[in-house]
Structure 1
Amino acid sequence: MTNVLIIQADQFRADCLGAAGNPDVRTPHLDRLAGDGVRYRNAYCSFPVCTPSRYSLLTGLHVRQHAGWSNRCTLAPGIDTFPRALRRAGYDTAAVGKMHFTPTYLDVGYDRLELAEQDGPGRYDDDYHRELAAAGLAPVTDLTDQEHEFRATAPPSYWDTYGTGRSNLPEEWHSTSWIGERARQVLTGWTETGDHLLHVSFVKPHHPFDPPAGWDDLYDPAALTPLPGWTDTIPAADQRHRREYFDYEPLDLPRLRQVMAHYYATITHLDHEVGRMLDLLRRRGLYDDTLIVFTADHGEYLGFHHLLLKDGPMYDPVVKVPLLAKFPGQRRRGEVSDALASLVDVAPTVLAACGVAPTTPLPGQDLGDPAAGHDHVLAEDRRHGVAGMVRTGSHKLLWSDAAGEALFDLAADPYELTNLVGDPAHGDQLRRMREAAARWALYDATPPTYVDPAAPQRGAVTTTDRAARQELFAAAVAERLRHQL
């Protein structure tokens, strides 16, 4: 059998890798991983929100099939996952970092979970925040950005900078460092003869873009190049998204470059921790025969159409994800694939590499097969009503019940600025893409979201001191605010 290491980032724009041609960001360890395997240039998530996308990765199913429509949902017990399948096959299974489950330690197949959550009740249940509280520390920068009660009292500097800035935590207590350290502890326990699965999921580079001291000044904002798709103003078609998490109309190039500097710093910090994990495997002689997958749950606008974060249309920067796969036995080293791929391909890829058959047919493909690839990929969204996407190699169809349809010829219009729905010359293309959406019932009513806060859990499940942590963190935020005003 084969060892498996899944490394997942959050809100990682696909072109923010040196290997992807980004002129500024420094990702030497991920670039080396890409050189040892295959980099998929056209990989997409199934839903540009954390939990729905993560459930698609775990199950190999589209969101319509697993019914996890929001960040407060539970994976139904009858739905299989690749961790469950590997556990049944005798694998030691573990997860470290951000899982974003309901309940926090939901049993999806990992026997051991060490969690570092960012949102909702998980923050007050998990290992990371329990240890922070025990050390008398509070993630003030993150809390101010993520929790509504604290964000409502954020100082003007928070809004002026779009929430970017140095973390108040020392580097060793930053979530990226904590997750990397816990992941290395798990990898140190891997035996040469055993069969192991580790899923490492970083909180970053998800906002707030708050690298710790020593990383926050890594990039000179003035030297950074805005990424493709930046526009000086918000296009008319996107004006309804002007005020999502922030008001994006005032975003200008100096502010954007500062945001980029901190976003890139969180990526380089993450890359550093990935490198430490991979070097450990190399030293132990386990690297060559381990399947290693790096990806993210969704992307980030980072200035595309004058927007930030992820709340808005499913343009490529927010729905495309990085995807690197290093296969056992040094197969397919240094390849770059233009095939259409999806996060639903991760589960069948892992199962195939481990010689484990799925319990039911899956819509994804084994990326270990050089011929793998889709005619089209799908994504859905339910944050602003019903919305969907069909993406082929050359075109994209977006629709929503709020904004109607938009068809883009990506060869001629890679920045998705010209809607061709009313152009007779593209009528046949529009019809074919509508038919693809209809085959997947993407226009149909949404199945109900499954939520079960009492579902079976694994790991360090305790909520006994949740109130004490909440009180400690609230006091820390109030104290910071008192000094800032």
Structure 2
Amino acid sequence: MKKSQHSYMFKTAYILFLLVLVSCKSTTKKHHITSDEKQPNVLIILTDQLRAQSTSYAGDPNVNTPHLDNLEAISVNFKNAVSGMPVCTPFKASLITGQRPLTNGVFMNDVQLDTNAVSMAKIYNKAGYDTGFIGKWHIDGHGRESFIPPGNRRQGFQFWMANECTHNYNSSIYYDNNDPTPKTWNGYDTFEQTDAAIDYINSKKNVNNPFLLMLSWGTPHNPYDSAPKKYRDMFNPDDMELRPNVPENIATKVRKDIAGYYAHIVALDDMVGELIQDLKSNNQLDNTIIVFTSDHGDLLGSQGAYRKQQPFDESVRVPMLVHIPKYLGIKPGKREAILNSEDILPTLLSLCQINIPEPIEGINYKPYMEGKDDTVGKETIITCVQPFGEWNKPKRQGREYRGLVTEKYTYVKDLNGPWLLFNNEEDPHQMNNLVNKTDYAVLQSDLDSRLTQRLKANGDQFLPGTHYLDKWGIKVDHLGTVPYKKH
């Protein structure tokens, strides 16, 4: 070999070595799960109609929730979390797809989520997880007590003990995996479903694959007087302290209803305690992400109204506790960021080191929780596309709206223009509507502009609900509600 050739080859090799060295140094350091750390399990505990204000860790004077308090102490608490469309089916669809309702087309109860959706369980299945669903489904749209066969109507969930929807908590039916014969939970279904979840978790303790389990309770959704007697006896309606925004003319009814509501809450709090204890006993707690949340809240007399859909805090704000294994390096504690429904899935995927598919629209809050990104969670959108049911247009003056929720303000407009403006720091019960007041004109203009920009970015033209019903082929009755049947 000639000397010039040898010199050229040496220089080339040296340059390549330097490039590799520089490349290695510039690579961002990531946490990799070691051989001693399994990929984390995921347990999602979903309640129905539990407002963020109604736990003792949130300061409610009427109720004691020690197990939720303990969970909150070891979790990230998104204390400003909202349900972007505070209704059962739309929330569930956003949770499972990571998409906003006008993207996945689910903006009313009792409609079907596209069976070809890129959904939570399908993604986790592909990543090697075992997946299971127990409890209330409510995104199938074929009848509230109909059998949902294995396949895409189950959105990828493998293990199955579920029904579409019922609020008969003491005699509710379910379907077990592949069996089309309806079965009945033996007693209060929140207890029975929790036992089934514990059995599922126990079955996975010596299995190599991690699991994703969604436990979807129907409580504390009304009927409020249907918790077991043991729990109902804990609450005397006369002793209930009402929120200041409950009108006096309905106070007697609200005290009775809220006593039953708290009975359900204490019952589910006990079930949270059983789940945590089982995870501890099986040495699974330190390797399990737990999400505790609700699909929406319940006004329960606040603003003179009941249930959900409306843009007030008792309807929109939801509990959002995320217990994260210590080895992921995220400290527990309260967070100010306003996490929305579609943000849950991408955040979970990131925590589990699973790639986030393109159709997902939500924000990944893992960098925020790590203290690496403080730009997210400053504001979010709340929406009502088509008011229906308990807030229908003809009888209840329901209205389409779009709203902007920030760390300090709630601003909402309907099809006629600005509707609500609250300073939530100075007026936490939203009793002083500042909309169109001269002193707040500059603030209102700024919030309106920000809301308009976000709607434009989301492709939301904010048209009457009938436009979206026609677009998605949704049929409604004279009250604007999707008719549903049991079977």
**For the superposition of Structure 1 and Structure 2, which TM-score range results when normalised by the shorter chain?**
0.7 to 0.9
Of 165, 171, 175, 1:127 maps to 175
Q: What is the identity, as a one-letter code, of the residue corresponding to 1:319?
A: V
Pairing 1:107–2:108 present: no
Contact kept, 8 Å, 1:76 with 1:450, in 2: the verdict is: no
Equivalent residue in structure 2 for 1:217, among 233, 238, 241? 233
Task: Give me the whole-angstrom Cα distance separating, in 1, the residues matched to 2:282 and 2:408.
Answer: 44
Q: How does 1:4-403 map to 2 (within 5 A)?
A: 4-102=42-140, 103=142, 105=148, 106-119=153-166, 126-127=174-175, 172-192=186-206, 193-209=208-224, 210-232=226-248, 250-252=249-251, 254-310=252-308, 313-329=310-326, 331-360=329-358, 362-367=361-366, 368-370=369-371, 371=373, 373-381=376-384, 382-383=386-387, 384-401=398-415
CA contact (8 A) 1:278 1:287 kept: yes
Contact 2:413-2:419 at 8 Å conserved across structures: yes
Q: Which amino acid aligns with 1:23?
A: P
SS of residue in 1 equivalent to 2:212: strand
Q: Which has the higher contact order (CA 8 A, sep 6+)?
A: 1
| Deviation larger for 89-98 or 221-230 | 221-230
Which SS does the other structure have where 1:264 is aligned? Answer: helix
Q: Distance in 2 between matches of 1:406 and 1:284?
A: 50
Partner residue of 2:462 out of 423, 444, 447: 444
Find the structure with the greater CA-based Rg. 2
Identity of aligned residues (%): 25
CA distance in 2, matches of 1:334, 1:43: 16
1:230-264 deviation line (CA, Å, top 9, x unaligned): 332xxxxxxxxxxxxxxxxx522x33222111100
Q: Deviations over 1:77-127 (max 9, x none)?
A: 45322222111111101110111022463222211221144349xx99832
TM-score, L = length of structure 2: 0.75
How far is the alpha carbon of 1:191 from its aligned partner?
Answer: 3.0
Match of 1:207, as an amino acid?
Answer: N
CA distance in 2, matches of 1:132, 1:229: 47
Answer with 277-286 or 181-190: which moved more.
181-190
Could you tell me how far 1:297 is from its partner in structure 2? 0.3
Residue 186 (structure 1) shift = 1.0
Count the aligned residue pairs.
400
State the secondary structure of the residue aligned to 2:228.
coil
**Secondary structure of the structure 1 residue equivalent to 2:231:** coil
> Partner residue of 1:420?
434
Work out the CA distance in 2 between the residues paired with 1:320 and 1:229: 16
Structure 1 unaligned runs (5+)? 138-171, 233-249, 454-466, 471-485
* 1:119-150 residue CA offsets vs partner (Å, 9 max, x unmatched): 49xx998328x999767x9xxxxxxxxxxxxx
- CA offsets per residue over residues 389-425 of structure 1, 9 Å max, x none? 2111111111223785222222332222333232233
**Structure 1 length normalisation: TM-score?**
0.76
Contact kept in structure 2, 1:227 and 1:302, CA below 8 Å:
no
- Does the 8 Å CA contact 2:172/2:189 hold for their aligned counterparts? no
Q: Structure 2: which 5+ residue stretches go unaligned?
A: 1-38, 388-397, 476-484
Amino acid at match of 1:314: P
Instruction: Pick closer, same or farther for the CA change 1:33–1:125 going to 2, 3 Å.
Output: closer
Q: CA deviation at 1:284?
A: 0.3
**Aligned counterparts of 1:133 and 1:354: Cα–Cα separation in 2:** 35
Deviation, 1:324, is: 0.3
1:207/1:132 CA distance change after superposition, 3 Å: farther
Matched residue of 2:302: which SS? coil
| Shift in Å, 1:229 | 2.9
Give the Cα separation in 1 of the matches to 2:215 and 2:182: 23
**Higher mean C-alpha displacement, 24-33 vs 382-391:** 382-391
| Structure 1 residues 369 and 343: alpha-carbon distance in aligned structure 2, compared to 1, 3 A threshold | farther
Between stretches 18-27 and 289-298, larger displacement belongs to 18-27
276-285 or 396-405, larger mean C-alpha shift: 396-405
* Cα-Cα RMSD: 3.0
Q: CA deviation at 1:452?
A: 10
In 1, the alpha carbon distance for the partners of 2:103 and 2:180 equals 37
Q: Is the 8 A contact 2:405 2:411 kept in 1?
A: yes
CA distance in 1, matches of 2:166, 2:401: 24
How far did 1:320 drift? 0.5
SS in structure 1 at match of 2:137? coil
Residues 195 and 33 of structure 1, relative CA distance in 2, 3 Å threshold: same
- 1:347 CA drift (Å): 0.4
> What's the CA shift for 1:366?
2.0
Q: Is the 8 A contact 1:35 1:333 kept in 2?
A: no
Q: How far apart are the structure 2 equivalents of 1:9 and 1:414? A: 24
CA distance in 2, matches of 1:434, 1:365: 26
Q: Distance in 1 between matches of 2:232 and 2:98?
A: 37
Name the counterpart of 1:458. none
**Range that drifts further, 75-84 or 263-272:** 75-84
TM-superposition CA deviations, 1:42-76 (whole Å, max 9, x none): 00001111000111111122112211011122222
Aligned partner letter, 2:342: V
* Residue 451 (structure 1) shift: 7.2
SS, match of residue 288 in structure 1: helix
The whole-number CA distance in structure 1 between the counterparts of 2:474 and 2:172 is 18
The whole-number CA distance in structure 2 between the counterparts of 1:273 and 1:222 is 27
